[in-house]
Structure 1
Amino acid sequence: MKGMKTHRDHPLWLAYALHRFSGLALAIFLPAHLYVLSLALTDPARLDGFLHWADLPLVKLAEFGLVFLLAAHMLGGLRLLALEFLPWSGPQKSLAASVLAGAFLISGLFFLRAI
């Protein structure tokens, strides 16, 4: 309905959504990561082939996205802990923006080091 406010109109809803999405994406990634690590013990030749593929620029860009999601999830979790335990009120919107900026900084540094 027009004129009605919903919970999605709140500025911190995006922080909530990013935290949930990053958690889901990391939960999907973790089994694949553990599988690739197991190749070191079970099939080293296959691991070498995977590592060669992982050196492609598109995969490096995907790693940037993964590190961004990891950093966003970690910093978003810290934001939630702070909301639970610290008496904040007004600067929560700025904190959510700084979490996003921090996640981008961490993943950007990883990306620059990886290329």
Structure 2
Amino acid sequence: MSSTSHAYRRNTLWNAALVHRLSGIGLAIFLPIHFLALGLALSGAAKLEGFLRLTQMPVVTAAETILIFLLVVHFLGGLRLLALENGPWFSGQRRVALVAIGVAAVVALIFLVRLL
């Protein structure tokens, strides 16, 4: 394969679509863990407390920060797609996609700083 066959991967909007899909997959992976925590809450305080103790680990804090990033980038990417599908194309699409990723990163960092 030549290097030009993958030139589309350098396109900002293609990468925005990829990030949107990957964030959706990441959120779908998280969902069963969330349901497990909810189920433990229904099973009793002791089981939930044991699970919540695990959330104090640094790796879980990092995972929560990544989760916040995934939530915000997926949300903003979805809003961008809704605007794109229901409105006219405008030349600022690349900028909107980059702003969505930037806002998601800032929100995730704020979350991390407040957690620490």
TM-score, normalised via structure 2 length: 0.88
The 1:5–1:39 alpha-carbon spacing in structure 2 relative to 1, beyond 3 Å, is: closer
Q: Indicate the SS of the match to 1:36.
A: helix
Q: Could you tell me how far apart the structure 1 residues matched to 2:88 and 2:77 are? A: 17
Q: Which runs of 5+ in 2 are unaligned?
A: none
Deviation at residue 4 of structure 1 after TM alignment: 4.4
| Aligned partner of residue 12 in structure 1, secondary structure | helix
Question: Which secondary structure state, in structure 1, belongs to the residue aligned with residue 12 of structure 2?
Answer: coil
* Cα distance per residue 1:93-114 (max 9 Å; x no partner): 1111000011112211211221
Aligned to 1:82: 83
- Stretches of structure 1 lacking an aligned partner (at least 5 in a row): none
| Shift in Å, 1:89 | 2.7
| Structure 2 CA distance for aligned equivalents of residues 18 and 43 of structure 1 | 38
RMSD: 1.7
Does residue 1:110 correspond to 2:108, yes or no?
no
- Single out whichever of 95-104 and 53-62 deviates more from structure 2: 53-62
Query: 1:16 aligned to 2:17?
Result: yes
Residue 90 of structure 1, CA deviation: 1.6
Deviations 1:31-88, CA, capped at 9 Å, x for gaps: 2101111111113212111111101222111100011001110000011011112323
- Structure 2 vs 1, CA of residues 62 and 4 (structure 1 numbering), >3 Å: closer, same or farther? closer
User: 2:92 & 2:24 partners in 1: Cα distance?
Assistant: 24
Q: What is the distance in 2 between the residues matched to 1:47 and 1:24?
A: 26
In the alignment, residue 84 of structure 2 is paired with which amino acid? L
Deviations 1:6-43 (A, max 9, x none): 64343211100010011111111112101111111113
Identity within the alignment, %: 44
Distance (Å, rounded) in 2 between the aligned partners of 1:88 and 1:109 = 32
Q: State the alpha-carbon separation in 2 of the partners of residues 81 and 41 from structure 1.
A: 37
